[in-house]
Structure 1
């Protein structure tokens, strides 16, 4: 009996992760933006999480570098993330789905061993975008399938793939259908300018900018603005102002204005001209760390609703990484 009592290990529990990933509401322990999540490091044999969700959300868990999908059940549930060999283990969880699908709450974590400080990324990348950056339909069978949470995955987007190859981690502020001055629906309210300063996209009002510093900023907006029949009024001026705001917030970060590959030839040319004009304006004002990069249409593969599929996103990542290495020496 004495031997049995001595063999019982003492579990350690925490109410917060080792560190947060992306933009989150730390006070409420909630995350909703695509690609947001948390990291843990522990010494032990087992890790169990307690999470809560209000939508059809799923996560990607990277456990010691091995990738695993976790589909969350509604409400508060426990999930066994690891049950294996004793040792030091690194765990990162990323939200596959975007904010409109719902939010996820971190209720706690428990291990049979003990928790350690979580490892920080080598670089941090801020991404401001729309459905392309959110991973809309990326796992879909083709352009005819409609949106579903199950086919969305931010971790397989061009930005996430490029960041992983550059030992970086993304803070992704992206929402489907949103533009810079005009959304896909035609509405000029509720654009990314209105959402990007919210810890959760569903919050009633902006709280503060995404906390830096960042080593790189990617802006991938314009597809929804130029999807309508008429040109979006005030787009170039708003783009210049956005670039200026980002420079004020993140003075050391190179900024890349991205476009493509979903627009048709004519709107793509018009959008390119406007974005290149905004970049030229900022460079003329002395900000030479602002650049333009296009992903020419059409995508090489399609996910749902004509969005770039997995292969297309890999090619976009290749193009982005090559440019960053050439420009920045990364």
Structure 2
């Protein structure tokens, strides 16, 4: 998946025409050589929670991505970021490059390609703490155009989670390695892997360190409710609590909740079983309020043991809801020597194993057939 376009193709164009391209974007109009399209162009589809403003599109949740087709062999994007997000660029389903955006800049996405339609996906692989990204404009050559992608997924999954869902440290093979934004990749999390297997679009409502009722490192057994995933679930932006998400824009077929590791991360300072169960049931009630009676899957963690397993089992039982389901994971699923990345979080190999457990459950609950597809 990683060898469609080489740096020999992309880098010279960035160096050679960047000044001309930037000038065209600044003028906000077409020239004899280029066409300019707004970030909100109808031929560009965004998957994930976003907000529009004067033709631009902003987002900070991990896993938000855009897809379109470019005709004419050339595509550039004017993009900005408030801190330093990492993005993966896929062209015709193959990884072309990974790059970091830390300010307003212009990035050439496709160059020297055939004039036929090429599918482009730009994927935000880091989470909200790394920055808020904004797509301002796109540019093609004078004969170019943007086209909607065809054959896009019909199935939809939302994942509510923490660092594991964010792909924290997935690109590291040493469990003792420190966390670096450059090695975080939600596209390698179990959530993205499962979605690819079922050819489903997905939203990742996830933030490292957050819990149901207690966040990692909190000195109290219960964190302020405004800081937990119970509140973040309602937000358009991970970091900005002032903009409410409009749930009518996107409705999943199923919601997978994978929380609890941070709540119980310190046995000396953690919520009681009753506090945890009540908070979890409140989160399920919130899901029910905005999405109706869709399946909700409550999933445990390979980073936690029997206590979380038992607590989540009680949540499912106490919900008294036949459409709330339990999927249990235990630490024994993963190999300590090979399946952990930064700060002892599951790496890509570990994430694939977790995905392999969730896939048959989704198949049974939703009636989505399993295939011979590779879990990757």
Question: Same fold per TM (> 0.5)?
Answer: yes
CA deviation digits over 1:275-300, x for unaligned, max 9? Answer: 11111122x2xx31210112211433
Point out where structure 2 has 5 or more consecutive residues left out of the alignment.
Answer: 1-31, 369-376
* Alignment correspondent of 1:319: 357
Count of aligned pairs:
316
Map 1:1-330 → 2, pairs under 5 A? 11-17=35-41, 18-27=44-53, 29-83=57-111, 84-112=113-141, 113-119=144-150, 120-186=152-218, 188-189=223-224, 190-205=227-242, 207-208=244-245, 210=247, 211-230=249-268, 231-233=270-272, 234-263=275-304, 268-282=305-319, 284=320, 287-298=321-332, 299-300=334-335, 301-330=339-368
Q: Secondary structure at the match of 1:150?
A: helix
Q: CA deviation at 1:165?
A: 0.9
Q: CA deviation at 1:307?
A: 0.3
Q: CA deviation at 1:154?
A: 0.2
Question: Does the CA-based 8 Å contact 1:196-1:209 persist in structure 2?
Answer: no
Distance 2:185 2:246 in 1: 24
Distance 1:172 1:37 in 2: 11
CA deviation digits over 1:58-109, x for unaligned, max 9? Answer: 1122221112332124211111111201111221211110111111110111
TM-score by length of 1: 0.90
Distance 1:241 1:204 in 2: 19
CA deviation digits over 1:159-179, x for unaligned, max 9? Answer: 101101101121101111111
Distance 2:210 2:97 in 1: 27
* Alignment correspondent of 1:3: none
Distance 1:252 1:197 in 2: 18
Distance 1:205 1:10 in 2: 38
Query: Which structure: greater strand fraction?
Result: 1
TM-score by length of 2: 0.80
Distance 2:295 2:311 in 1: 20
Distance 1:171 1:126 in 2: 5
Q: Secondary structure at the match of 2:117?
A: strand
Point out where structure 1 has 5 or more consecutive residues left out of the alignment.
Answer: 1-7
CA deviation digits over 1:222-263, x for unaligned, max 9? Answer: 000011124413110111121122122112532111111112
